[in-house]
Structure 1
């Protein structure tokens, strides 16, 4: 509204009123931050092989169903065992890597590097596990295990990361989602053009920003951003999930 910038002065000046362009830029940055959260929401669902509606969480596309692929069975990670079998956790990681290698076929010519986005409880039990602690015992990273828990740890050929979600979306506390890194074309995102005459039959952009003025009374300007993404996991058969037990 025009009244919102009335008599507002730029910091450090005595007479110059705040420029409308500066206020527009500030508000557009806030809108862009909201859009980036939506993109992150799509990425998190993408490593699960699905597209959900950000508004209500309804399923839009299940790529396992779309490509007639049966999802791999969820893997149990024995993280709560007070007396785990020696080497069992490392073997579980190796079996997971080999399973993904088999489904990748010739798509990966080198070693497969897996990343896991973990829920908070899964990650906490992982870094507290006897095998993980023994691996880092005599390294510089041991300081992290002795003090504050870090957000990422590498073990058994897998990079585990604690996913810092929020109330709107995140990884369930006792689960982890795995996907191979560095596989070209595994995750794609396509953008449709904005719903305007100006952009009809043009290549879509990640974001469109526009201002809609009050043409009747010239009292306000409404700022909008628009994005029409279609995230795709082209090979959902390489995705894996695990649960702490």
Structure 2
């Protein structure tokens, strides 16, 4: 190992650091826990989504020996989306590794690796909450940048009118069960032949309080398990009429320090679970010489010495594009 600059060690190469930052635990991301947006690596910085308005119909019986029915081709349309490029940088200063040199031992490398891991974990967390913000945008149909500017409007791109259900929870006479059934019927029709295992709704704390405190809901739960749902904390898994509601309080600060909630007060966003190919996160390769024409990874990391070796610059980047291939299934709820 070079004693002039320990970062010349192969342990701090681009491939090693990229593997390390992808191995670090994700400290934030409910949508990541739900595995709603599986990763799909691509080789380019632009993703083209093909839409097929296929026709599903019943096949009629035919006499033996007669020709079969002819399948109808669905119309195809292509839509291109640019993959966002999200770089982030930090620096390891000499003061952070002063006093750790020990000749011909591995302790120096281990200590410097620890310092590097601390920096990478902090950077990893920032990328994680940024990805959560982008995925929540895709779940709402409009992907926004950190400053609130629009990156992609899925409804406009697919020429779909956004669907909103007003639950009218402030009205004590509202039939909440019927509202849930109407939501399920709409989602089933919007699947267009796709399957789902259930409906999940992420709601704001205000929406959840109005829902769980509604007279009709409380009456329905009164005799179920002796009213356990009315006594316990059900914010993470509140089921009513076959729909799962979950309180979601995700938020983050932008570059100006202004906190932004991912779900507005009194709102919720419904989506299907268990579909085949409704959601995805496309990840493009980094803009490094080493990554040209390679399949993208979620995160990349690289280091380089500063001028006069006055520290080491750390560079991380992510190139993710969360996507919903069926925006008609993205339903907004209002309390």
- Determine if the TM-score, normalized by the shorter chain, exceeds 0.5: yes
Per the alignment, residue 22 of structure 2 pairs with: none
Judge conservation of contact 2:221–2:229 (CA < 8 Å) in 1: no
User: Which digits, 9 at most, give the CA deviation of each residue in 1:131-150, with x for residues without a partner?
Assistant: 32233334458445235563
1:22-171 residue pairs with structure 2 within 5 A? 22-53=114-145, 55-72=146-163, 74-82=164-172, 84-85=173-174, 88-108=175-195, 113-140=198-225, 142-146=227-231, 148=233, 150-166=235-251, 167-171=259-263
Q: Which runs of 5+ in 2 are unaligned?
A: 1-92, 102-106, 252-258
Number of residue pairs the alignment of both structures matches? 230
Q: Rate the CA distance shift 1:78–1:197 in 2: closer, same or farther, 3 A.
A: same
Moved >6 Å (runs of 4+): none
Q: Per-residue deviation at 1:21?
A: 0.8
User: Which digits, 9 at most, give the CA deviation of each residue in 1:127-181, with x for residues without a partner?
Assistant: 1112322333344584452355633301111110111212333211111111111
CA distance in 1, matches of 2:275, 2:300: 29
SS at match of 2:190: helix
Q: Which runs of 5+ in 1 are unaligned?
A: 10-15
1:196 aligns with 2:288: yes
1:7-26 residue pairs with structure 2 within 5 A? 7=99, 19-26=111-118
Q: Rate the CA distance shift 1:217–1:185 in 2: closer, same or farther, 3 A.
A: same
CA distance in 2, matches of 1:141, 1:127: 16
1:186 aligns with 2:186: no
Q: Per-residue deviation at 1:119?
A: 1.0
User: Which digits, 9 at most, give the CA deviation of each residue in 1:22-76, with x for residues without a partner?
Assistant: 11011101111111101111121111122221x212111111111111222x211
Judge conservation of contact 1:119–1:162 (CA < 8 Å) in 2: yes
- Larger C-alpha radius of gyration, 1 or 2? 2
TM-score (norm 1): 0.86
CA distance in 2, matches of 1:151, 1:233: 24
User: Which digits, 9 at most, give the CA deviation of each residue in 1:158-212, with x for residues without a partner?
Assistant: 1101112123332111111111111111111111110111111111100001112
Per the alignment, residue 42 of structure 2 pairs with: none
Per the alignment, residue 12 of structure 1 pairs with: none
